[in-house]
A = this chain, B = another copy of it.
Amino acid sequence: MTTDKATTAGTRPSPPARPALSRPYIASAALALIDAGGLSAFSMRKLGTGLGVDPMAVYRYFQDQEDLFDAIAETIFDELDVDSLPWDGTWREVAERYCLRLREALLAHPHAVSIFATRPVRSPASIDTGVRIIEGFQTAGFTPAQALQISRCLREFTVGHALSLAVIRLGARSRSRKPTPGSSSYNILAQAADDTEIDEHFDIGLTAMLNGFEALV
């Protein structure tokens, strides 16, 4: 019916239901696919098919899967909305809010945290944010070396935490494995690990680290 030329109305130039392909659009679609089906079920071919296009069309925009995964990491970072961070506040306010936002963005995509955690994010937005944070630390009185080291520690804790939490949450859903009844030591850890409220240990670690850094300045 609607195959040959324009639609029966004929006015619009029959825009395809799918938006034009582009790097950010494809990266978002890939991330959505991973969110829905998990990383292990993702493939370049399924991405093309899901996009309503030939499985190989994606290679017109990305060199390979690594290139696509780099873009996915940038997509996640962009969800931080760094512009709305309290840039006029103290170094500690900026650092704390940045880490909380990063954690939030990562945990919104539990199946993709490992993609983010296994590559440096080198988008301009990410680099500029890093520079801005480090400059703020220096203004607050930290040495350049300290400022860099502190920013890296905070990010590493945040990413490590989000990765660990994502793994636990996803694992709890898929694993029904019995609690290894033999080892009595298992229960104390497993019970606590699978406990939902334990998610809130991030604040304790972040506060401890920030307190420790505050003593340096």
Contact = CB atoms under 8 A, between A and B. Distances in A.
B168 A120 contact: yes
A130 B164 CA distance: 15
A contact residues, range? 35 or more
A146 B130 CA distance: 31
A50 interface: no
B185 A131 contact: yes
A208 B212 contact: yes
A2 interface: no
Interface in A50-65: none
Contact of A158 (B149, B158, B160): B160
Interface of A: 114, 117-120, 122, 124, 127-128, 130-131, 134, 146, 148-150, 152-161, 163-164, 167-168, 171, 180, 183, 185-186, 188-189, 192-193, 198, 201-202, 204-205, 207-213, 215-216
19 contacts: A114-B114, A114-B117, A120-B171, A127-B183, A128-B183, A131-B188, A134-B189, A146-B204, A149-B204, A149-B205, A150-B204, A153-B157, A153-B161, A156-B205, A157-B160, A208-B208, A208-B209, A208-B216, A212-B212
